Structure 1
Amino acid sequence: MSDSDLVKLYSGRILALAADIPHLGRLPAPTGTARRRSPLCGSTVTVDVVVTDGRIKQFAQDVKACALGQASAAVLGAAVLGRSLAELEAARDALRAMLKDGGPVPAAPFDGYEVLIPAREYKNRHASILLALEASCEAMAASA
């Protein structure tokens, strides 16, 4: 990866998101919890949720990831409250397609993932970017 590639990938916007992740920490009494780890880079995300009537009422995430994984967690954290499992799964699938297949940005309220379009070219970063959404889907499913 050249220096100019790194500058493009780690834009100021990505770094700003990574520095301000909403809902950091853990919940004292979650109804669902999931931990995901990327074997390639070692990034991990643990998500706790409280689900009521099929929607996330409380959310917390413990994020130990690269700047791209942190930025992804920040986008998720800004949009996750009030979402259903189907909405999270649609966002996860759309993000995966955006990264791997050149698909469109996930629909609102998850359209903040557009900041990660430059990461399409870096397949070794995709797993870290997907961790927060994958863990959130698993935590919601465990809550059912």
Structure 2
Amino acid sequence: MNAPLYNTEILRLAASIPFGERLSAPDASVEKRSPVCGSRVTVDLVVDAAGKVSEVGMLVRACALGQASSSLMGAHVVGRSAAELAQARDQLTAWLAGERDAPPDWPGMEIFAPALPHRGRHASIRLAFEAAAEAAEQAGR
């Protein structure tokens, strides 16, 4: 696998993170940090009566891979349930760890295939999905 770790699509996503403002009254807010590189992602969520994400706010202070992952998560999080977010988080974790052959069932995740051999980068890629899954679970309680 000789694909560059930082390609044009990663950099494009990193520069176009949706929901780049924190919410003033979230149902839940979770911050996750990578102990390896110091990347940090905070996700604020509001969920509707059906338990689906209806509003999102994020503060992303991460490397390009963490920013790109936050961008993909944010682009497709509205309308998702806590269970769907937990599944995406778990699939991403398993794929990065080599325990799953296919990328997660989340649009665009195959873009991180060049990062698979770079274990030190995995935590940053997982941050947004970990924060969103935990926030959705908290909001649904």
Q: State the TM bucket, normalised to the shorter chain.
A: over 0.9
Q: Structure 2 regions of 5+ residues with no counterpart?
A: none
Name the one with the larger helix percent: 1
Cα-Cα RMSD: 1.2
1:20 to 12, 16, 20: 16
Q: How many Å separate the matches in 2 of 1:117 and 1:10?
A: 11
Q: How many Å separate the matches in 1 of 2:112 and 2:6?
A: 9
Q: How many Å separate the matches in 2 of 1:79 and 1:51?
A: 14
Q: Which amino acid aligns with 2:102?
A: P
**1:11-62 CA deviation, whole Å, 9 max, x = no partner?**
0110000000111110011001000011110000000000112110001110
TM-score by length of 2: 0.93
Q: Which amino acid aligns with 1:86?
A: A
2:76 to 52, 76, 79: 79
| 1:34 equivalenced with 2:30 (yes/no) | yes
Deviation of 1:111 after TM superposition, in Å, equals 2.6
Deviation of 1:100 after TM superposition, in Å, equals 1.1
Q: Which amino acid aligns with 2:95?
A: M
Q: Which amino acid aligns with 1:23?
A: F
- 4+ residue runs of structure 1 moved beyond 4 angstroms? none
| Percent of aligned positions that are identical | 48
TM-score by length of 1: 0.91
Contact 1:97 1:104 in 2 (8 A): no
Report SS of the residue matched to 1:39.
coil
